[in-house]
Structure 1
Amino acid sequence: MGILAHVDAGKTSLTERLLYAAGVIDEIGSVDDGSTQTDSLALERERGITIKSAVVSFVVGDVAVNLIDTPGHPDFIAEVERVLDVLDGAVLVVSAVEGVQAQTRVLMRTLRRLGTPTLVFVNKIDRSGADGERVLREVSERLTSSIIPMGAAGGLGTRGPAFTPFGADDAGFTARLGELLADHDDAFLAAYLDDEKPVSFERLREELEAQARRALVHPVYFGSAITGAGVDALMSGISELLPAAEGDAGGPVSGTVFKVERGPAGEKIAYVRMFSGTIRVRDRLRFRQDEEGKVTAISVFDRGSSLRRQAVSAGQIGLLWGLGEVRIGDTIGVPRPTSARRYFAPPTLETVVVPRPADKGALHAALAQLAEQDPLINLRQDDVRQEISVSLYGEVQKEVIQATLANDYGVRVMFRETTTICVERPAGTGAAVEIMGKEPNPFLATVGLRVDPAPAGSGVRFRLEVELGSLPFAFLKAIQETVHETLSQGLYGWQVIDCTVTMTHSGYAPRQSHAHATFDKSMSSTGADFRGLTPLVVVDALKRAGTTVHEPMHRLSLEIPADTFGSVLPFLVRLRAVPRTPATRDATCLIDGEIPAASVHELEQWLPGLTRGEGVLECAFDHYEPVRGTPPSRPRSDHDPLHREEYLLRVQRRVTGRREDG
């Protein structure tokens, strides 16, 4: 089960309260004091926010719950994304004071798209300003209308709030519940409308359990993680309304790695959710197609902590030691059809990391370990300029990377100015071919490729127009991998997306030797020939197709005092935002529209001053849009196949018509 929320909604405090109520801990920790179970990193305790997902476990009745506490700050959305594939259900936490916030909407939209059974917990009913009815309206209007309050909150805004569950004797509740359930099931609708035989409360409850487990309806609970109000009812809901894990412990091994960390001695530890089968110490496991590793130790989460065990089975989360090459997202054993999907937007910002001269050598190793734990920081090494760039979701993430490098690795760094990550899309179709033995191709390889535009969001697809057996598999794999690598930097230096690359020509020189002597690579094609030639063909095809640079655009939602509209609108226009027709409600003006990602940070900085501190901004990545005017470019960090002669000198130290070993 995952606990998800907008930052500061109180999900880590709720995790503490659940562990306390289940008898796992004797004292409730505090986020402010840095004493919670799941915020174990020094940086998390210092900042009072969750940065890394953390796993704890407890038991409710006869149900064992593996709970994953996730970050709420949008800069760490990648941590949430990695968890989504391993959840059976979720609890979405909403503040009774702040209500539905930007990240709440992003999370619920994703949970609904995935069909993840989700309970909603309205937290902080003890806080001044708590308003249960308003929050219910916001949940219904902004998240989903398929909700049912499971009880009534009392004493809001006091130190003694309470949550009273509804029961069979509450006619209003049973009527609302019956109508909601009837919306999703025709058979139940017919039974509900049968006046001669009224539906019993037991039947209503059974249908509620069935529909909640299918993510058709979302029960809502009210409470306070600080006082404990409503937590017992929520725990009952978790055990009764969220689906139990399925999976055969005796079946084929199938699991997903959703987190990787390093132990005290630098050893790699993989967090694996098991869907099927059993893994035992000393088992050899296959992952990521052709990688393999031997499990040297296992820990399993049990009643609040991880304990050393000899095996981990279906339905459990385990820590595995010994898989040195494992990465986040890897499938252990049999793949699942839902794995390796992208749920949230990619990072849209990047920055260059600048170390002290004495730390240059240690920086790359430190960042490489951080990239193991967060692959979306996308390390980008520029050997020509001796620079390393990282991708970001926001400025807070940059501060956390800086502090982590200093605290955990002793590496002090500064950052260049944060810039926006653009992408390129093919403007048309382009084809190119290099024939083995014909000028100016110096490689023992023939490669022909065609690049075609593809629909937005389709990614990069590689396909064949040559016969499958016309090229050894190793050479075909080398071409395919190099195509994807080369498309990470297009004509303007940005990643090329949404295209189909078709292989139209292929050829190679079979393995040959002199007079039955050893293999002679000067007469025979090698994988290096295809890896060296393919970038030249890709960029040639791209040049013929042309590319357009697109910048990331965010959805914009602004709530401002109506009398500040006259000062806010010109500022939005200056930031290249495209506001739609505003709507006025009471003394509040609502503005929706689009804004370039590059302008979001400046809007966040200036909005309080423009709106007397009353403006509320919601922004989330929406789409890429062609750049108007001169396209921005980014320096290449590879051997630059756009400049053929320099490329050939760097790659093989050979030029047209001359072949040398290098």
Structure 2
Amino acid sequence: MPADLTKLRNIGVIAHIDAGKTTVTERMLFVSSAKHRVGEVDKGTTTTDDDAEEAERGITIYSACVQFPWKDVRVNLIDTPGHVDFTAEVERSLRVLDGAVVVFSAREGVEAQSETVWRQANRYHVPRIALINKMDREGANWEEVLSEIESRLGAKPVAIQIPAGQGPPHVANPFRGIIDLIKQKLITFPGGKDSREVVESPIPDEFADDAALYRDQMLEQLYGYSDELMELALGGEEIPEALIRKVLRSATVHLQIQPVLCGSALHGMGVEPLLDAVAAYLPHPLEMPPVEGVDPTGKAVKGKSKRRAGSVSDRSSGGEESPEGGEPVKKLVRKPDIAEPFCGLVFKILPYKTGDLYWVRVYSGELKPNSRVLNPGKDLKENVAQIWRIHASKKDEQLDHAEAGDIVALLGLRDSVTGDTLCDTRTPILLESIEFPDTVISMAIEAENSEEKKKLAGVLEMLRKQDPTFRAIENEETGETLISGMGELHLEVIQHRLARDFGLKFRARQPRVSYRESVARKVEVTGECNRNTNGVQHTAAVRLRVEPFTPTGPLAHVAPPVVVSVDPAAATTGGLTSEFVNLVVEELESATEGGGTLGFPLLRLKVTVLGGEVHETDSTDIAFRTAASLAFDKGLREAGVVMLEPIMALQITTPDEHMGDLVGDLQQRRAMIERTEQRGGATVIHAQAPLANLFGYSSAMRSLSQGRAGCSMTPSDYAPAPDDVVQKFLGE
């Protein structure tokens, strides 16, 4: 009998680092009786941070999935990292989830990574609720954080709870419970963090005015989403709880509002009401739109020169036309129904002794062990040997089937990677893949001997498969391997894994920045091929325009780094046949992947095919490919090299007395101070600085502030590098 999908919640917990995500997850497991003792991050005893590196550092590095019951609902929960270096874990989790709990610290408020994860949730259209955590901390300010959620995130927060006091026990009005604005009750947790006791009582007189004010404000925000609610209010009638919850659920599921709750997960306050809100306001799979894909059997999605069909950039244009303007791509949908053909998405891969574990979100149909499925993106079939329930990052329970709405682990796959679709072999569909950011930092490592080198190559290949933001390229001439990632911590964790988990012996060089290349100006060039090879004459000419190009609009962040286009006149007055135009485009797309004049990946570049010359008898495929390649190289040289360096957005929180020293240090690092603001008793500095000048910044910041300042940084943009950097690479 199919499971009741209305009783299933697939959710994630997302936030800035140290906002309390893992503690919230741990408390959820405890209060739901899925765990008998509460683990603690500081002691390395939490369920989801089960990796040695996570326990040692006290941070989440890898997303982990746990399942537990809450009243009549079954919850699949993914705990995600908060550090920007591991943002890919958030990206892939949000891609497959139906809802999210976004955690904010009541003291720090909306931080840099808070904005990043919120944007990611926006991109994947994930309904969410917010928890303002750490209400018992010194400097907690619930109203200010609520205001920041609206102003900095562009959100529509609706407070359905307010705190009864805020701050630690020694302040005048400490945090001691939660006032539920729907029930109009004070909720307290007298047993502390090791208890599941929840007590409801009337709202004390000291909080009555605030509760009435915020309840009116909550209802006013909801009137616009329900005529029935508005009519009852205008008639002065009592508004039933059930109607308020119904309107809240509908508006949340349709991404119109975000309910806001509060609490202190560390001390066991507010987690039960949070789980009630997850069940009440976050969607079940049937409330999500049917998953969309394209027909992979169509001519439009075949051929190596096209980008992956179903990608974000394809979807931005509606997916109606093929990448080369040929046959329209046929759109397909799959409803979350066991009667539909099977389809799912691989969103994570973990190594296991008996074979890699492939984490899959099942969107439709049913999947059974010992079956064969199609990977339409690679046009190959895969064997599904076993299906497992996931607990943290390990196998938990072997299943006899998986169905629509499930998140499970598969054993037996071989060639699939993160972002690949799996589907029924008879009714193929290709789902939108997962887009990951480019790496910004790299370092060289070298194995100590030839035996270690062979082992290192195998391990790096496995790590590449697991982590889509990790790159490893071997330099045959030097014997070194260049590994690239999202930040210093990312590469540090990789090094520790190589040494500790795999016992490899290697030497590591200092990290270096991953630059990009663009061009300085627009040029038009002609590439000519006039060669005789083995008695066969090859003659052709191709005209191109090469120019700098900066994408704009809401999807600019997922635009391809290089745009190859064709002037409409190229195949008419431009002198080229459509067949030769397609050959030229294919050659240019291949050439742009090889990097620029200095060997760095190309970025913000547009290449337009203007036309060419076709010889009556001597024009061949080889001639046009050669002419296109020569024209592209010539265009890069004549347009002039522009080196682009990654710029990081910094957010530094410091006591006022250390602000001057920190600002002075930032200016020496070529940072631009954007603004400063007061938050509690501290100053927050917002700045932009080149990554090249930020190596070791965390240590320098702690030294300058006597360990009292905190910092977060996220990739912001690319900007032209200074002349001395360009000259160094040009050898001048």
Same fold (TM over 0.5): yes
Separation of aligned partners in 2, 1:533 and 1:295: 47
Q: Residue 103 of structure 2 aligns to a residue in which SS?
A: strand
1:482–1:531 contact (8 Å) kept in structure 2: no
Please say if residues 529 and 627 of structure 2, whose CA atoms lie closer than 8 Å, have aligned partners that are also in contact: no
The alpha-carbon deviation at position 144 of structure 1 amounts to: 5.0
CA contact (8 A) 2:651 2:684 kept: yes
Contact 2:29 2:35 in 1 (8 A): yes
CA contact (8 A) 1:85 1:338 kept: no
Superposed, which structure 2 residues align to 1:3-42 within 5 Å?
Answer: 3-42=13-52
Query: Which residue of 2 is the match for residue 235 of structure 1?
Result: 275
AA aligned to 2:518 is R
Q: Gaps spanning 5+ residues in structure 2: where?
A: 1-10, 185-210, 287-335
The answer to whether structure 1 residue 387 and structure 2 residue 398 are counterparts is: no
Number of the residue aligned with 1:175: 216
Percent sequence identity is 29
Alignment RMSD: 3.9
Q: How does 1:38-117 map to 2 (within 5 A)?
A: 38-117=48-127
SS at match of 1:283: strand
User: Could you tell me how far 1:238 is from its partner in structure 2?
Assistant: 0.6
Q: Deviations over 1:497-532 (max 9, x none)?
A: 233445656999x9xxxxxxxxxxxxx989xx9999
Aligned to 1:411: 504
Count of residues in correspondence between the two structures: 615
Q: Which residue of 1 aligns with 2:177?
A: 162
Structure 1 residues 592 and 299: CA distance shift in structure 2, 3 A: closer
Whole-angstrom CA distance in 2 between matches of 1:445 and 1:365: 45
2:417 paired with 1:327: yes
Please state whether the residue corresponding to 1:622 is helix, strand or coil: strand
1:470 to 567, 579, 583: 579
3-state SS of the aligned residue for 1:548? strand
Shift of 1:84: 1.7
Distance 1:560 1:124, change over 3 A: closer
Report the alpha carbon displacement of residue 312 of structure 1 after superposing the two structures with TM: 1.9
Partner Cα distance (2:67, 2:706) in 1: 45
Counterpart residue type for residue 318 of structure 1: V
| Superposition deviation, residue 445 in structure 1 | 9.6
Could you list the per-position Cα deviations for residues 64-116 of structure 1 after superposition, in whole angstroms to 9, with x for gaps in the alignment?
A: 22111111222211211121211111111223344433322322233245432
Q: Look up the equivalent residue of 1:157 and give its one-letter code.
A: P
Matched residue type, 2:417: R
TM-score (norm. length: structure 1): 0.81
Q: Closer, same or farther in 2 for the Cα pair 1:233/1:624, shift >3 Å? A: same
* d(CA) in 2 for partners of 1:271, 1:112: 23
Contact 1:378 1:390 in 2 (8 A): yes
Q: Does 1:482 align with 2:590?
A: yes
Distance 1:287 1:131, change over 3 A: same
Q: Which residue type is aligned with residue 149 of structure 1?
A: A
Q: Name the aligned partner's letter for residue 494 of structure 1.
A: F
Paired AA for residue 29 in structure 2: L
SS of the residue 1:551 aligns to: strand
Paired residues of 2:388 and 2:395 also in contact (CA < 8 A): no
One-letter amino acid of the structure 1 residue matched with residue 18 of structure 2: D
Q: CA deviation at 1:220?
A: 2.0
Letter in 1 for 2:694: V
Alpha-carbon distance, 1:198 to partner = 6.9
> Equivalent of 1:260, from 343, 349, 352?
349
Aligned to 2:455: 362
CA shift, 1:219, in A, is 1.7
Deviation of the 1:589 alpha carbon:
5.3
Q: Which moved more, 1:22-31 or 1:184-193?
A: 184-193
User: Relative to structure 2, which stretch is displaced further, 269-278 or 7-16?
Assistant: 7-16
| Residue type at the aligned position of 2:444 | V
Aligned CA distance change for structure 1 residues 277 and 579 (closer, same or farther; 3 Å): same
SS at match of 1:364: helix
Q: Which amino acid aligns with 1:239?
A: A
Give the alignment's TM-score, normalised by structure 2: 0.74
* Contact kept in structure 1, 2:27 and 2:265, CA below 8 Å: yes
The amino acid that maps onto 2:76 is: N
Query: Which residue of structure 2 lines up, in the alignment, with residue 318 of structure 1?
Result: 408
Question: Counterparts of 1:434 and 1:94 in 2: how far apart (Å)?
Answer: 60
Offset at residue 29 of structure 1 (A): 2.7
1:272 Cα deviation from its structure 2 partner: 0.9
Shift of 1:132: 3.9
* Contact 1:435–1:446 (CA under 8 A) maintained in structure 2: yes
Q: Which residue of 2 aligns with 1:651?
A: none
Give the gaps of 5 or more residues in structure 1.
511-523, 637-662
1:548 aligns with 2:642: yes
Q: Residues 217-296 of structure 1 correspond to what in structure 2 (within 5 A)?
A: 217-246=257-286, 247-265=336-354, 267-281=355-369, 282-296=371-385
Q: Say whether residues 1:349 and 2:364 are aligned partners.
A: no
Letter in 2 for 1:275: Y
Deviates more, 1:70-79 or 1:551-560: 551-560
Distance in 2, matches of 1:365 and 1:56, equals 30
- How far off is 1:122 after superposition? 2.7
Question: Equivalent of 1:423, from 508, 516, 523?
Answer: 516
Distance 1:496 1:470, change over 3 A: same
| SS in structure 1 of the partner of residue 726 of structure 2 | coil
Q: Which of 353, 374, 387 is matched with 1:298 structurally?
A: 387
Q: Which moved more, 1:268-277 or 1:534-543?
A: 534-543
Q: For residue 307 of structure 2, what is the aligned residue in structure 1?
A: none
Residue of structure 2 aligned with 1:596, choices 678, 690, 704: 690
Distance 1:583 1:441 in 2: 74
C-alpha distance in 2 between matches for 1:550 and 1:441: 45
Structure 2 letter corresponding to 1:273: R
Q: Secondary structure at the match of 1:435?
A: strand
User: Does the Cα contact within 8 Å between 1:57 and 1:305 map onto a contact in 2?
Assistant: no
- Partner-residue secondary structure (3-state), 1:256: strand
Q: 1:70 to 1:407 in 2, by over 3 A?
A: same
Contact 1:434/1:441 (CA < 8 Å) preserved in 2? no
Give the direction of change, closer, same or farther, for the CA distance of 1:263–1:145 in structure 2 (3 Å limit). closer
Following TM superposition, by how much is the alpha carbon of 1:56 offset from its aligned partner in structure 2, in angstroms? 1.1
- 1:239 deviates by 0.8
